[in-house]
Amino acid sequence: MQLSGIPTLEGFSPRRRNLLKSSAALIAAAGAASMTGGTSTASAQPTTAPKPSVRGLSGQRHVGFMLAHEQFTVPQLLDIGTSATKAGFSLLATSDHIQPWQANEGHAGEAWVTMGALGARIQPAWMGTTVTCPTFRYHPAVVAQAFATLSHLYPGRVFLGVGSGEALNEKAATGTWPVWQERWDRLVEAIDIVRHLWTGEPVGFAGKFYTVNAKLYDPPPQPIPLLTAANGKKSMRLAGLHGDGLITDPDTWKKHKAEWEGGAKEAGKDPSTMPVLVEKFVVVGDKDEAAKSAELWRFLPKAFKKYYNVVDPAEIQKQADAQVPLEQVMSSMAIGMDPAIHIAAVQELFDSGVTIVNVHSGQQDQQKVIDFYGRSVLPKLTG
């Protein structure tokens, strides 16, 4: 399959034709504008109405649990993830960093290794990254191969979340950190490469940023949902255009939901059938415990307004300590020992159209949170 032209479905095996019915593979096979002529632009439009490839993630609600590689070691995360799924969380999301956001968080294990080790313990829960940047630290072909391999180990349970990255990962590891528009142009091109490789057909492409002449000899046995992260108005529309689903935060979802829906509709997709994952910070405890958690995640209010351009986690921590009051961080958390507080926070997101509420607690005692939710929150959610 040559990406420099406009490939068709002719010549594909029946198995590959079925796989090409995933949203992006069909876009690519019909000749998405972003993959023709050897260039890629963030405004590229698909030429064919895509069909969703999200299956078990669409039409269902999930409460996920965040595995924070910034705060815990990989062995700890294996135990945390196992406990979470036993308590009733049906999805696990993992951060994917080479450094933590703040130096005081203390850790940064490799997310794909964690997922490989964890999958056998958490059947039948979903797992995936929120998010992987497939453009600098990882080449898109390597991302395609890694997640295809994970999907053979745990078929029908792996999703890939992608984003345009942060300097603390991409610039720190490669020395490369272009302006926002180029980072998104790279992401769009990378998404198309990943999806083409997942078909299992030969891929020959010389684009603006990447050259690929390869095929995956072990492509995914079924389509892998590819969710795109966004934290602003422009990126929300682009995520709707190019992703099978969305990863975002509560504030961005509230402000710019219409942008994402508009982008999805423009690409011929039905946003009501697409998964939306929103991360919700919680604390099972009092204000003092919330303040301890907030100290580790103090960067959050300015994460994608300022700190994503800072390379050094120690510098991010220093700036956050000086610029972000703890009360501002805590104001977006669900805090308390009353189950009603947490039930309401999750239910509100579900009622707004979110399909995956990803619970994230910065508390050191993760088991306390897991037990509380498993006993007092998850069984009482509606729908």
Judgement on whether residues 167 and 313 belong to the same structural domain of the protein: no
The catalytic position among 70, 105, 166, 201 is 166
Please give the backbone phi and psi of residue 257, each rounded to the nearest 5 degrees, phi first: -55, -40
Indicate the residue among 256, 271, 286 that finishes a domain.
Answer: 271
Judgement on whether residues 280 and 310 belong to the same structural domain of the protein: yes
pLDDT more than 90, % of the chain: 83
pLDDT per position as a tens digit, 136-171: 999 999 999 999 999 999 999 999 999 999 999 999
The answer on pLDDT for 383 being more than 80 is no
Does residue 125 form part of some domain?
no
Beta bridge partners of 67: 94
Please give the backbone phi and psi of residue 212, each rounded to the nearest 5 degrees, phi first: -130, 125
Judgement on whether residues 64 and 6 belong to the same structural domain of the protein: no
Predicted pLDDT of residue 57:
87
The catalytic position among 62, 69, 97, 256 is 97
Q: What is the CATH number of the domain that holds 18?
A: 3.20.20.30
Predicted pLDDT of residue 59:
79
Does residue 48 form part of some domain?
no
Amino acid at 142: V
Judgement on whether residues 111 and 165 belong to the same structural domain of the protein: no
Active site residue 97: yes
Predicted pLDDT of residue 49:
27
Which conformational region is residue 55 in: left (phi greater than 0), alpha (psi within -120 to 50 degrees), or beta? left
> Is pTM, for the whole model, over 0.75?
yes
The answer on pLDDT for 316 being more than 50 is yes
Report helix angle 140-153 to 180-198, nearest 10.
40
Quote the CA–CA distance of 332 and 122 in Å, as a whole number. Answer: 29
Active site residue 62: no
Quote the CA–CA distance of 178 and 316 in Å, as a whole number. Answer: 19
Element (H, E) at 282: strand 276-283
- What's the mean pLDDT in 112-139? 97
- 6-20, 115-129, 177-191, 310-324: least confident range: 6-20
- What's the mean pLDDT in 207-222? 97
Indicate the residue among 231, 247, 271 that finishes a domain.
Answer: 271
The model's confidence at residue 55, banded by pLDDT at 50, 70 and 90, is low
Asked whether the beta carbons of 371 and 363 are under 8 A apart, the reply is no
Quote the CA–CA distance of 226 and 101 in Å, as a whole number. Answer: 24
Predicted pLDDT of residue 27:
31
Predicted pLDDT of residue 56:
66
Tell me 130's DSSP state: S
Q: Rounded to a whole number, what is the largest CA-CA distance in the chain?
A: 63
Work out whether strand 334-335 and strand 276-283 pair parallel, antiparallel, or are unpaired: parallel
Judgement on whether residues 109 and 159 belong to the same structural domain of the protein: no
Quote the CA–CA distance of 300 and 165 in Å, as a whole number. Answer: 15
Indicate the residue among 215, 249, 271 that finishes a domain.
Answer: 271
Judgement on whether residues 267 and 280 belong to the same structural domain of the protein: no
Does residue 126 form part of some domain?
no
Please give the backbone phi and psi of residue 127, each rounded to the nearest 5 degrees, phi first: -150, 150
Range of the domain at 170: 1-41+131-271
Judgement on whether residues 295 and 361 belong to the same structural domain of the protein: yes
pLDDT per position as a tens digit, 83-107: 999 999 999 999 999 999 999 999 9
